[in-house]
Amino acid sequence: MREWWRDAVIYQIYPRSYQDDSGDGVGDLPGITRRLDHVAALGVDCIWLSPIFMSPQKDMGYDVSDYTDIDPLFGTLEDFDALIARAHDLGLKVITDQVLSHTSDQHPWFKASRKSRDNAKADWYVWADPLPDGSPPTNWHSHFGGPAWEFDPQRGQYYLHNFLASQPDLNFHNPDVVDAILDTCKFWLDRGLDGFRLDTVNYYFHDQKLRSNPPAQAKPQVMATDLYGMQDNIYNKTRPENLGFLERLRSLTDQYDDIMMVGEVGEMGRRSIEIMGEYTAGKDRLHMAYSFAMLGPDFSVDHFRGCIEGFQKGAPDGHPKWSFSNHDVPRHVTRWADHAVSEDAIARLACAMLMSFEGTVGIYQGEELGQTETELTYEELTDPPALRYWPAVKGRDGCRTPMAWEKDAPNAGFSTGTPWLPVKPPQAARAVDTQGDDSVMAFYREVIALRKSEPALTTGKTAFVDLGEPVLAFHRIAKDQTLTCVFNLSKDTQNLTVEGGASFVGPHAAALNGDTLALPGNGFAYLAGVTGLSRDQ
């Protein structure tokens, strides 16, 4: 039997920003539970919850201080159980964000580890002596600025942190750490969870020899908060030992029915596609992986085709997950605005493309509304990199502002209190209650239903058609059906010649006149009966 996750649509919920039922301005689990009917009505298969565990919230929950309890900000374990039960009643699977590579510095493990060099947890984190001149042990960078090492005077050593200094990295070379982490994962599986989204899945292990990274071979990409691009990051992440841990984790999940793991590969470009393939190869690693490959500014035929074909070649037996937006990047309607005829047009085109991709796909809350990035002032920010490097870095708050439910209600229906991030008029204007029969939300429902009803879009293999920029075209080929998918990534009309008596399947933004298919700017179509396809030059 085909596993549920292989052609699933996963809906990401950012709990802080979905629905606040307590009135404190922060979203919570009861609020999510109340809004699950909206999610189920979209036709998706699964929800992914960003971190909800105990945390000082220095990095919005990605700094865990207790892996087996719910942060009171979001509710209780009983609220979690109620959410799981309601989701399952609606036919929705539930996965949570597991942040395993690092903890909060407030975690009891780290508090014990930093006390001395010889206590029971002394080796549970990555500690190293200073170099003779007092400088850090390696040249590795932190993603949030500065070195990836913080000196701790209590131990007289540096500890490793790939992100904030308050997010020390666990030492996965210690088998006791691995066992403890697996125990925390088992806790949630025993509670009825359907799987995990594994944060920074290629960061678990570091080079034990503590070798410094060489300079980047390609042209370096330098950002105010992130100097990673100036190095080839071969010693601080994506170490070969990662695969062994993934196999241990897969062995655990295989003890349960219908569990799925999707890993976030923290890498950009074609290298990320290679890692996705390696981490999903065979049947004893991740079920699937996704990267930031489609979460950047690139919007071209060459880019999308290169991502998909790169995965096909690198992992013919692996499984990808594709997304255009999440809680870490600007929303794609805004990110790709230079290619858009209008916000609604690019929102529909993106949905039509994503739902035609082979593998599993993910959408981020608000995508179904055609939601745009929120413009914030410095005084409104909460994201650590933005607070440190403003105005060069705007941070991630712009994609994390609250879900808009009711256009004219206070805070667009998100909260009766003051929300942790503001809901501004451009976002409120796209509230759920404004989404009628011809809206972006209605389009999402229609295309998700189409994806589920057409064998070619669920199980079909992908074969690209060479039409050149700006028309992305491919066949999805199943045993009993072939659909041809075409997308105009430009603002200008593109005319194609179609052979074989083609007909539209499902929604489209195109005109078919005889053997001529006219794609307006941001136009698209799914076609049956195509035997030949060419582009009029």
The string of DSSP letters for 143-167 reads: TTSSBSEEEETTTTEEEE-SS-TTS
Whole-number Å distance between alpha carbons of 77 and 81: 6
Q: Are strands 46-49 and 93-98 parallel, antiparallel or unpaired?
A: parallel
Residues 332 and 325 sit within 8 Å (Cβ to Cβ): yes
pLDDT at residue 219 is higher than 70: no
Residues 306 and 314 sit within 8 Å (Cβ to Cβ): no
Helix (H, G, I), strand (E, B) or coil at 391: coil
> Which pair of tokens denotes residue 412?
């667009």
Reported as a pLDDT band with limits 50, 70 and 90, residue 226 is low
Residues 231 and 216 sit within 8 Å (Cβ to Cβ): yes
Chain position carrying tokens 């997950």: 321
Residues 6+ apart with CB under 8 A from 459: 2, 7, 478, 479
pLDDT at residue 316 is higher than 90: no
Percent of the chain with pLDDT over 70: 98
* Nearest partner of 93 among 348, 349, 334, 362, judged by Cα: 362
> Which pair of tokens denotes residue 491?
């603002």
CA distances from 129 to 102, 132, 204, 210, 418 (A): 20, 9, 21, 11, 46
- Residue 357, CA atoms < 13 Å, CB-side half-sphere: 28
Q: What is the mean pLDDT of residues 5-10?
A: 95
Nearest 5°: CA angle at 308, between 496 and 290? 140
Known catalytic residues? 199, 267
> What is the predicted pLDDT for the residue at 223?
53
SS (H, E, C) 404-435: CCCCCCHHHHCCCCCCCCCCCHHHHCCCHHHC
pLDDT at residue 292 is higher than 90: no
Residues 230 and 222 sit within 8 Å (Cβ to Cβ): yes
CB atoms within 10 A of CB 338: 9
pTM: 0.96
**What is the second-level CATH architecture of the domain 4-101+195-203+239-388+395-451?**
Alpha-Beta Barrel (3.20)
Per residue in 415-465, pLDDT tens? 999 999 999 999 999 999 999 999 999 999 999 999 999 999 999 999 999
Whole-number Å distance between alpha carbons of 274 and 293: 11
Domains in the chain: boundaries:
4-101+195-203+239-388+395-451, 461-535
Per residue in 184-205, pLDDT tens? 999 999 999 999 999 999 999 9
Q: What strands lie across the sheet with 511-513, from one edge to the other? A: 511-513, 516-519, 494-499, 532-535
Beta bridge partners of 364: 12
Reported as a pLDDT band with limits 50, 70 and 90, residue 286 is very high
> What is the predicted pLDDT for the residue at 393?
87
Choose between 261 and 270: higher pLDDT: 261
Residue 123 CA, distance from chain mean position: 31
- Residue 23, CA atoms < 13 Å, CB-side half-sphere: 1
Whole-number Å distance between alpha carbons of 421 and 401: 5
For residue 46, count CB atoms less than 10 angstroms from its CB and return exposed for 0-12, middle for 13-18, buried for 19 or more.
buried
Q: What is the mean pLDDT of residues 122-144?
A: 96
> Which pair of tokens denotes residue 258?
């219908």
Residues 197 and 99 sit within 8 Å (Cβ to Cβ): no
CA distances from 425 to 281, 413, 428, 444 (A): 46, 13, 5, 23
Percent of the chain with pLDDT over 90: 88
> Which pair of tokens denotes residue 331?
């929303």
Whole-number Å distance between alpha carbons of 369 and 526: 22
> What is the predicted pLDDT for the residue at 222?
54
Fold entry, domain 461-535: Immunoglobulin-like (2.60.40)
Q: Before 470, cis peptide (omega within 30)?
A: yes
> Which pair of tokens denotes residue 92?
């929705």
Residues 347 and 440 sit within 8 Å (Cβ to Cβ): yes
Q: What is the mean pLDDT of residues 365-375?
A: 98
> What is the predicted pLDDT for the residue at 106?
98
> What is the predicted pLDDT for the residue at 293?
85
pLDDT at residue 221 is higher than 70: no
Alpha-carbon torsion (19, 25, 28, 33), positive or negative:
negative
